[in-house]
Amino acid sequence: MRNRVIKFYFRRSLATVSKHFRKVLRAVISLEDRFLVQPKDDGPIPNEILLRQGKFYPYFEKCVGAIDGTHIRVKVSSDQVQRYRSRKQFPTHNNLVACTFGLQFTYVLAGWEGSAHDSKVLQDALSRDDRLFIPRGRYYLADAGYALTGSFITPYRGVRYHLKEYSIHPPENERELFNLRHSSLRNAVERSIGVLKKRFPIIASGSEPHYNEETVSDMFLACCIIHNYLMGVDPDEELIAEVDEEIMHSEIERNTLSTSSSSSRNDNYRLGEAIRDDIASKMWHDYNLNVS
């Protein structure tokens, strides 16, 4: 709600409302280290992978989570609109998040201009003092908008995949099967973002921003922290089911992005390629054994 609405409900001045809003916002953000916990080098295999033997395990046993970007509307001055205007045609922040397969955020980088490409935001996340941490020998899942590396495994580009593994048209090769299971596991980050925005309509993409860009950035971080707390004490299964249904209806059979990556085929790319090909090969071999 706008501060003016709160002023009316609680019969306090705008200055008082604003003061306490920012005080609570700072208090929530101070809990970041407690509720936004990144994976460790010696961390266990996520249960969501370990307990899905034959589908995700052992193929994704070294995966620690998924990353993606999400846009939040912001209010900026007229001379900055162009920098912040995204493909949504209004000013936004491009926020990078990493999450577990249990739908909890482990890392949040908020505040990049909406016009910034996801790969540029990721590079910043990897170079900061409070950087996105990648445990040794582990990796995150990412969509085709990111570059393939040993730390970020993306789907095969230009490879069609089916929404259901055992449908009328099952996967025809190892790349289709890999993309299908990669998408099924990676959508944890889409689900996390979906639940976050339903919990807090003030950061939903369609909401008219009431605060300046710095405050909106802090609000997004605070909402992620509260979301993590709630996932521990009150996950709200009905809300999660609602988001799952929306994601299911929004998905259609499609090709993965076919645009070429701007990254050169360096050693890091080749490492990611080797990891992906090895997973796809083993997965396809076992899949054919089960089908036969």
- Residue-wise pLDDT tens digits, 145-193: 999 999 999 999 988 766 666 666 788 899 999 999 999 999 999 999 9
Please state, in angstroms and rounded to a whole number, the distance separating the CA atoms of residues 49 and 182: 12
Per-residue model confidence (pLDDT) at position 170: 83
In this predicted structure, the answer to whether residue 84 has a pLDDT above a threshold of 70 is yes
CA angle 69–80–90, rounded 5-degree value? 50
Model pLDDT for residues 212-256, shown as the tens digit of each residue: 889 999 999 999 999 999 999 989 999 999 999 998 877 654 444
In this predicted structure, the answer to whether residue 287 has a pLDDT above a threshold of 90 is yes
DSSP 3-state assignment of 234? coil
**What is the percent of the chain with per-residue pLDDT over 90, rounded to a whole number?**
73
In this predicted structure, the answer to whether residue 199 has a pLDDT above a threshold of 80 is yes
- For the residues 122-145, what does the mean pLDDT come to? 96
Q: Length of the chain, please? A: 292
Q: How many CA atoms lie within 13 A of 175 on its CB side?
A: 10
In this predicted structure, the answer to whether residue 272 has a pLDDT above a threshold of 80 is yes
User: What is the identity of the amino acid at 230?
Assistant: L
Q: Which pairing describes strands 152-153 and 139-141: parallel, antiparallel, or unpaired?
A: parallel
Largest CA distance in the chain: 72
Per-residue model confidence (pLDDT) at position 45: 97
